[in-house]
Amino acid sequence: MQCASKPCSHASVLHRLGPHGPALRRLSRQYTRHCHLVATRNAVKGEIKGKTTSGDEDSAFEQQLKSRRNKQKKTTVQDLQPNTLPTSSKPEAIPPNDQLEAVAVLVLVSLFIAIIGQGLFLAVSGFLPESWDQFAQDVVYKTFSPTLGIFLATSAGYGVWKSKQGSGK
């Protein structure tokens, strides 16, 4: 396998080895590394002796890449800005349907936060002072189930409303 005298031909080497799965891929990688090392060694020797080698091909390739980069248009801030600005300074009116949806989502988020807060307070109430534990038993525990029921009913109603709204389109 003389890599330095002629270009590497992996196809002929791999054809002679036959299909042996992982061993074939490992040998192919080793052969590729070997060819690369031989080419690098020869390039270094050629540069020392003043010869032109495959290093010239690499530099030509690098110059070609640089010329491609220079040809590409550079993006400026003006390119990113829209061409037209809105003429009216007052905000657009939000449709009533969107306002209703925003209120429904706000109610659901508020109820979710209340449920999480109540649940955490009930969970740690045994480790708190006696007066806080008594408050958790008398007030928070009694309101936890109704809050959860309101959340479930609201989320179900919101889901039905959105599904009917989606089927009407």
* Tens of each residue's pLDDT in the chain, 169 residues: 445 445 555 555 555 555 566 666 676 777 777 777 777 777 766 665 654 455 566 777 777 777 776 666 666 665 556 665 555 556 667 777 788 889 999 999 999 999 999 999 999 998 999 999 999 999 999 999 999 999 999 999 999 999 998 876 5
Instruction: Name the residue with tokens 């479930």.
Output: 152
pTM of the model: 0.44
Q: How far is CA 13 from CA 9, 26, 70, 92, 128, in A?
A: 7, 13, 41, 71, 77
Helix, strand and coil in the chain, % to nearest 5: 75, 0, 25
Tokens 């390039």 found at: 43
Q: Which is it for the CA torsion 109, 110, 111, 114, positive or negative?
A: positive
Amino acid at 104: A
The first and second tokens of residue 138, run together, are 């008398």
Structure tokens of 65?
């890449």
- Here the contacts of 39-46 (C-beta below 8 Å, separation 24 or greater) are 39/3, 39/4, 42/4
